[in-house]
């Protein structure tokens, strides 16, 4: 048994014992405090279940706001020991039998098969296509005969396309002559995510499928993969020249990427300075192909998966130069994080969220209306005020008729004890 | 990793304790607290299944349950306060007539 299991057992036992104590304690304040312990335990279990956001919401809203409201009302009503005995004696055994029946039913359900064997179906495969075949010019992308994108220029990329799993033919076709530049059959497995990159080896255009990962990155880091589509059939390396840009003092970041292959995926800290990085011919620091010194284009941002493609851009008169282009895709936010919950909340669950917001508003108004004590009517107020006002002149009128002070010299009429307040509420 | 079964089992036990509180206790505030306990037990099961399926939708449901519970508590406690004002009691067995 692992530590995690024992932690679960301890927290679970604390939760159950607190729940039982909550039911048994005579004092309602004690019950509320035990309920707070249960909520804290459940928040801890949320943390163990990869739901940090919900754990914090649980603490703040349940153990904080809601329980304070409970304690406040208990104090307000003085309801610590209210309740008393029930006239329905048969309810206790009845509830016990019902609870046991429920336990048996759910136990049978759980015993029917381990829940762990169920797992979600993998999502549909996703593929994006990038055009780095230097000689081909503008092409149309066809997948199994269906035109997906027209006029794809060198360096263009088509964003992720989602297909049902199966066999597809990816073809790049010259739009004018209808000549097929590249055609390749690809089998897409369920759950596959990748990029199809068209590149040229010499004069031969080829299509490479680079599998990618869009899973959550490490905290505060971005993912970087390099693909070599540089047509001169060189192996290339990504090196850091350092701030001095000294060819004799370099550090290889990713070494020896052969033509048509992708490097291993590496994760770099957010904000890593890429200005001193450059692609070189592998092992030859003097042959710098292209530098990554454009901060606007090359940067490592958290939660992003970047595929840098080194290609050979055709220039006029048969001359070509090396270019590096990043294909950036957002990686999935880590499971259960605030970003993950927020993303769903503001996309798929927008309407329920609005409905819940209106419900909260209605509840707020409802609570105010319910606890609102209506003011006494204007006539009643006037009657009370009037009675009080005549009391003084009346004594002076009597005093004038009798000829002496009714209340006696120096003695002021004593106020009656405020009976209402002494009784309390 | 603790099995989902264990979490479902624990959530079921808490749910039953909450249900028994609703049935057995006579103090309306305690009945309310037991309802909260039942909601929490359901939340625990939802989060456990969300991890099982690797989908965050369960988390969203829990989020909504917590929000609705907050609204429910506000209205419910206001009702209890209003009832206490007229009847001087919150024993739910004594609240057996509709007139105030």
- What average pLDDT values come out for chain A (425 residues) when binned by 10 residues? 90 96 91 95 94 94 91 86 68 85 85 73 85 81 85 84 86 84 85 86 82 81 86 80 78 83 84 83 82 79 85 76 84 84 91 94 93 80 67 68 66 58 46
Q: Do you know the residue count of chain A?
A: 425
pLDDT at B63: 94
Query: In chain A, what is the straight-line distance between the N-terminal and C-terminal CA atoms, in Å?
Result: 56
Say which of B18, B52, B67 has its CB closest to residue A356.
Answer: B67
pLDDT at B27: 86
CB A222 within 8 A of CB A305: yes
Closest to A276 measured CA to CA, from A244, A314, A302, A235: A244
Chain B closest-CA separation from residue A317 CA (Å): 54
C-alpha distances (whole Å) from A411 to each of A405, A406, A414 are: 10, 10, 9
Q: Strands A193-201 and A126-132, how do they pair?
A: parallel
For residue A75, what is the DSSP state? H
CB A85 within 8 A of CB B20: no
Per-residue pLDDT reduced to its tens digit, A353-399: 999 999 999 999 999 998 888 777 788 887 777 665 555 566 677 77
Chain B residues with CB inside 8 Å of A86's CB?
24, 26, 93
Chain A closest-CA separation from residue B80 CA (Å): 9
HEC letters along chain B: CCCHHHHHHHHHHHHHHHHHHHHHCCEHHHHHHHHHHHHHHHHHHHHHHHHHHCCCHHHHHHHHHHHHHHHHHHHHHHHHHHHHHHHCCCECCCCCCCCC
Q: Complex ipTM, two decimals?
A: 0.95
The packing angle between helices B4-24 and A3-24, to 10°, is 0
Chain A closest-CA separation from residue B87 CA (Å): 12
Q: Do A335 and B56 touch (CB under 8 A)?
A: yes
pLDDT at A416: 62
Chain A residues with CB inside 8 Å of B64's CB?
349, 352-353, 356
Q: Which residue of chain A is at minimal alpha-carbon distance from B75?
A: A367
Q: Do A22 and B33 touch (CB under 8 A)?
A: yes
pLDDT at A67: 92
Chain B residues with CB inside 8 Å of A3's CB?
none
Mutate which: A37, A66, A76, A214, vs B, most B CBs within 10 A: A66
C-alpha distances (whole Å) from A200 to each of A49, A204, A307, A317, B25 are: 48, 5, 18, 18, 78
Which position has the token pair 């297909």?
A163
Chain B residues with CB inside 8 Å of A110's CB?
5, 8-9
C-alpha distances (whole Å) from B46 to each of A49, A272, B43, B50 are: 11, 39, 5, 6
pLDDT at A424: 44
Burial class (CB in 10 A: 0-12, 13-18, 19+), A272: middle
Cβ-Cβ contacts under 8 Å between A and B: the total is 233
For residue A175, what is the DSSP state? T
Strand partners, A199: A132, A206
Alpha carbon of residue B23 to chain centroid: 13
Strand, coil or helix: what is A157?
A: strand
Q: Which residue of chain A is at minimal alpha-carbon distance from B37?
A: A35
Strand, coil or helix: what is A313?
A: strand
Burial class (CB in 10 A: 0-12, 13-18, 19+), B20: buried
Q: Which residue stretches of A25-168 are H helix?
A: 28-48, 52-57, 67-77, 91-111
Q: Strands, DSSP E only, in A295-394? A: 304-314, 320-330
Chain B closest-CA separation from residue A276 CA (Å): 40
Q: Do B74 and A106 touch (CB under 8 A)?
A: no
CATH number of B4-87: 1.10.287.3510
Give the global pTM.
0.72
Neighbours of B42 (CB within 10 A): 18
Chain A residues with CB inside 8 Å of B53's CB?
118-120
User: Which residues does B64 contact at the CB level (< 8 Å), separation at least 6?
Assistant: A349, A352, A353, A356
Q: Do A61 and B70 touch (CB under 8 A)?
A: yes
Tokens matching residue A193? 């995510």
Which position has the token pair 């669950």?
A349
Mutate which: B45, B67, B89, vs A, most A CBs within 10 A: B67
Mutate which: A73, A85, A360, vs B, most B CBs within 10 A: A73
Q: Which residue of chain A is at minimal alpha-carbon distance from B5?
A: A115
Say which of A8, A84, A353 has its CB closest to residue B26.
Answer: A84
Question: What is the side-by-side strand order in the sheet with A284-291?
Answer: A251-257, A236-240, A277-281, A284-291
Q: Do B3 and A116 touch (CB under 8 A)?
A: yes
Chain B closest-CA separation from residue A146 CA (Å): 33
CB A178 within 8 A of CB A140: no
Chain A residues with CB inside 8 Å of B63's CB?
54, 57, 341, 345
Q: Do A73 and B80 touch (CB under 8 A)?
A: yes
Mean pLDDT of chain B: 89
Compute φ and ψ for A163, nearest 5 degrees: -120, 155
CB A323 within 8 A of CB B35: no
Neighbours of B49 (CB within 10 A): 20
Chain A residues with CB inside 8 Å of B8's CB?
106, 110, 115
C-alpha distances (whole Å) from A329 to each of A211, A212, A319, A353, A357 are: 13, 10, 32, 28, 33
C-alpha distances (whole Å) from A201 to each of A135, A141, A160 are: 10, 20, 25
Report how far residue A116's alpha carbon sits from residue A109's, in angstroms, rounded to the nearest whole number: 14
Q: Do B90 and A82 touch (CB under 8 A)?
A: yes
For residue A303, what is the DSSP state? T
């Amino acid at each position: 048994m692992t530590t995690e299991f024992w932690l679960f057992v301890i927290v679970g036992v604390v939760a159950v014992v607190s729940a039982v104590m909550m039911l048994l304690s005579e004092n309602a304040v004690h019950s509320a405090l035990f309920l707070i312990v249960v909520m804290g335990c459940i928040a801890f279990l949320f943390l163990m279940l990869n739901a940090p956001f919900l754990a914090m919401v649980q603490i703040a809203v349940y153990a904080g706001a809601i329980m304070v409201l409970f304690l406040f009302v208990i104090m307000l009503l003085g309801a610590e020991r209210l309740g008393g005995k029930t006239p329905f004696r048969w309810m206790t055994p009845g509830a016990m039998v019902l609870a046991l029946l429920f336990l048996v039913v759910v136990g049978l359900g759980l015993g029917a098969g381990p829940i762990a064997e169920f797992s979600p179906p993998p999502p549909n495969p996703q593929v994006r296509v990038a055009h780095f075949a230097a000689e081909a010019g503008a092409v149309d992308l066809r997948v199994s005969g269906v035109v997906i994108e027209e006029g794809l220029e060198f360096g263009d990329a088509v964003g992720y396309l989602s297909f049902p799993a199966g066999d597809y033919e990816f073809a790049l076709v010259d739009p004018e002559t209808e000549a097929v530049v590249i055609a390749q059959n690809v089998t897409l497995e369920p759950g596959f995510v990748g990029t199809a990159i068209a590149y040229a080896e010499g004069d031969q255009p080829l299509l490479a499928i680079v599998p990618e990962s869009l899973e959550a990155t490490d905290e505060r880091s971005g993912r970087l993969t390099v693909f070599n589509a540089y047509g001169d059939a060189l192996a290339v390396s990504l090196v850091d020249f350092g701030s001095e840009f000294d060819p004799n003092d370099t550090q290889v970041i990713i070494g020896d990427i052969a033509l048509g292959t992708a490097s291993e995926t590496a994760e770099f800290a957010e904000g890593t300075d890429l200005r001193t990085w450059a692609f070189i011919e592998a092992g030859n620091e003097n042959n710098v192909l292209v530098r990554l010194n454009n901060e606007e284009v090359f940067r490592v941002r958290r939660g992003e998966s970047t595929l840098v493609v080194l290609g050979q851009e055709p220039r006029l008169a048969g001359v070509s130069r090396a270019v590096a282009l990043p294909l950036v895709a957002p990686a999935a936010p880590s499971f259960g994080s605030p970003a993950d919950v927020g993303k769903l909340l503001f996309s798929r669950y927008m309407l329920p969220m609005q409905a819940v917001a209106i419900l909260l508003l209605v509840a707020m108004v409802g609570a105010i209306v319910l606890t609102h004590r209506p003011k006494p009517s204007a006539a009643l107020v006037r009657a009370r005020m009037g009675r009080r006002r005549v009391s003084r002149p009346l004594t002076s009128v009597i005093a004038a008729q009798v000829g002496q002070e009714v209340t006696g010299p120096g003695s002021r009429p004593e106020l009656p004890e405020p009976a209402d307040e002494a009784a309390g509420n | 990793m603790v099995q989902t079964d264990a979490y479902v089992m624990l959530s079921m036990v808490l749910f039953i304790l909450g249900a028994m509180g609703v049935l057995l206790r006579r103090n309306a505030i305690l009945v309310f607290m037991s309802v909260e306990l039942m909601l929490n037990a359901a939340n625990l099961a939802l989060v456990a299944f969300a991890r099982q399926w690797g989908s965050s939708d369960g988390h969203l449901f829990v989020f909504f349950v917590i929000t609705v519970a907050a609204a429910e508590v506000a209205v419910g406690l206001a009702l209890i306060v209003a009832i206490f004002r007229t009847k001087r009691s919150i024993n739910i067995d004594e609240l057996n007539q509709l007139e105030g």
